Structure 1
Amino acid sequence: MSRLHLHLLSDSTGETLEMVAKAALAQFEDTDVIRHFWPMVRSRQHLDRIMTDIAANPGLVLFTLVNSETRTRLEEHCRALGLPSVPALDAVTDALEDVLGQEAKGKPGRQHLMDDAYFERVEAIQFTIAHDDGVAWEDWEEADIVLAGVSRSSKTPTSIYLANRGYKVANIPIVVESPPPTELFGLRRPLIVGLTTAPERLIQVRRNRLLSLNQAPETAYVDIEKVNREVQFARRMFADNGWPVIDVTRRSIEETAAAVINLLNERHAAGEPAPGANPL
């Protein structure tokens, strides 16, 4: 197995750089990657301190630095050490400059400005946390999205991911013995989406959850017949109400969220009002 020291330098939070690196690394197997993460690099002194660690752990350097002096100094250091350095966003920025006919602003962290969109995202996150797992159903009409599904069908993590994209999300567990409040079936503004999964996969997830809580892994919660009834009950409810359904069995949280957003876009294209969202 090959080993790689990967140095990620950013003059902002480094979130974008981490996502780029993660997406690229997913294409490679049998590689031991040691990440060195350096956010908020905005001074020559800070960069010089970082170079000591880079010299001690030579590898690939990826960076998003908009200050020309800082990035030039980084590139000079890397050349002196014989290390490759890659500006992760330059190609995209250059293409946008050509197409838009204007120069990039060159200001660190512009995507994290505390503008109206930022505060709307904060509000969406607060709403979503306050309306997790069926709580505060009286306010569901204010939501952009309502996710419904049996326990451990990824409702909460998907809700939080969507909230970070600016959507107000509520989620409700579908339980055979405890039907949801009747208000769920009369909602008009939110897009209601059913999340379903294969019973076998659901049992595996639930069993792992029980083990993580140091609880007995063999209970009715993971009984195959009971789980099958739960999943069938939820699917019947989704079908009876005409709610779109997403099978999350082999989907990541990001993929599930993208599918939900596509459903919102289709709803908007069909002429229905689309809830506001502010992508990161």
Structure 2
Amino acid sequence: MSQTHLHLVSDSTGETINSVARACMVQFKVEEPIEHVWSLIRTKVQMEKVLLQIRQKPGPVLFTVVNQELREILIRECRRLGLPSIPVLDPVIHALASYFNLEMSGKPGLQHTLDSEYFNRIEAMNFALNHDDGQLPQNLNDAEIVLLGVSRTSKTPTCIYLANRGYKAANVPIVPGCPLPKELETLSNPLVVGLTKDPASLMQIRRSRLKMISNEEETDYVHLESIKEEVKMARKFCNEHRWPIIDVTRRSIEETAATIIKHYHRHMGIADE
């Protein structure tokens, strides 16, 4: 079977449509198509270049283009080629426009306007990177969220995801034989959350990690019984402080972050949306 193609056409950076496409494609047990991302398409000349590639490598077209003339050019050519063209944001925009009784602005890339929310995310990202893996523990009280967990429980990627949502998150590793920062005992501001994972799953992930760095030495780090003790110790520590614990074994980063944010809202007395 020949490789299929998927064209993602956007008048902005393409991040939104790329996320939508991937979220949809994982629902199908098919060979992953070759993605062609066409971003910042805002003129007829640019659109014609995109159409040339679509003709040469035909496949479904997903698009987020607000300019009506460019939309019509794309839709018309896709119809001629017998290809589906899907405006992925239209149902949401039309529903919101109907509810609020407003017209859309028709300006591309407005979601990336450099507003205060954007700069808050940048600040949160810098905070997460500077306070990764137990760095600068003296600043932990400046965080909004602190994640605890043994090695390979997705602390860093979860912090990065939270930062992208605008939350200042730090993470602290729980390592056997190493004392935890004394600052943890006196935190008054942040929500502290423990992350845990099934020991057998942790063992496999750690073995794979060591193999990637060409180190397959048998140590307590990859010994199942030792890992069980680590997980037990970490869980006990969080329970003693009445910090919520999230098992990330079968959770995606997004699912884990969503649960953390719910805990944070309760921590801050914010009603769930």
Q: Same fold (TM over 0.5)?
A: yes
Partner AA of 1:208 in structure 2: S
**Cα RMSD between the aligned structures?**
1.6
- 1:3 Cα shift? 4.9
TM-score normalised to structure 2 length = 0.96
Map of 1:120-269 to 2, 5 A cutoff?
A: 120-216=120-216, 218-269=218-269
Partner AA of 1:16 in structure 2: T
> Structure 1, residues 111-167: CA drift from partner, whole Å, max 9, x if none?
111011101110000011000000001111110100000011100000001000001
Count of aligned pairs between the two proteins = 272
Q: What SS is found at the alignment partner of 1:31? A: coil
How far, CA to CA, are the matches of 1:269 and 1:190 in structure 2? 13
Moved more, 178-187 or 197-206: 178-187
Partner AA of 1:118 in structure 2: Y
- 1:225 Cα shift? 1.9
Show structure 1 runs of 5+ residues with no match.
Answer: 275-280
Counterpart position of 2:30: 30
> Structure 1, residues 215-268: CA drift from partner, whole Å, max 9, x if none?
125322101121111111101100000000000111111111111011112223
Partner AA of 1:122 in structure 2: I
Displaced runs of 4 or more, over 6 A: none
- 1:103 Cα shift? 0.6
Query: Identity percentage over the alignment?
Result: 50
How far, CA to CA, are the matches of 1:116 and 1:270 in structure 2? 21
Moved more, 224-233 or 244-253: 224-233
- Matching of residue 55 in structure 1 with residue 74 in structure 2: no
Asked if the contact 1:2–1:30 (Cα under 8 Å) also holds between the matched residues in 2, the reply is no
Partner AA of 1:244 in structure 2: P
Partner AA of 2:48 in structure 1: D
How far, CA to CA, are the matches of 2:263 and 2:13 in structure 1? 31
Asked if the contact 1:2–1:32 (Cα under 8 Å) also holds between the matched residues in 2, the reply is no
Show structure 2 runs of 5+ residues with no match.
Answer: none
- 1:2 Cα shift? 7.9
Q: What SS is found at the alignment partner of 2:4? A: strand
- 1:191 Cα shift? 0.3
How far, CA to CA, are the matches of 2:6 and 2:270 in structure 1? 46
TM-score normalised to structure 1 length = 0.93
Asked if the contact 1:207–1:217 (Cα under 8 Å) also holds between the matched residues in 2, the reply is no
Structure 1 residues 79 and 191: alpha-carbon distance in aligned structure 2, compared to 1, 3 A threshold: same
- Matching of residue 17 in structure 1 with residue 52 in structure 2: no
Asked if the contact 1:133–1:171 (Cα under 8 Å) also holds between the matched residues in 2, the reply is yes
Q: What SS is found at the alignment partner of 2:246? A: strand
Q: What SS is found at the alignment partner of 1:23? A: helix
How far, CA to CA, are the matches of 2:58 and 2:115 in structure 1? 39
Partner AA of 2:240 in structure 1: D
- Matching of residue 89 in structure 1 with residue 89 in structure 2: yes
- 1:200 Cα shift? 0.4
Moved more, 85-94 or 214-223: 214-223
Counterpart position of 1:278: none
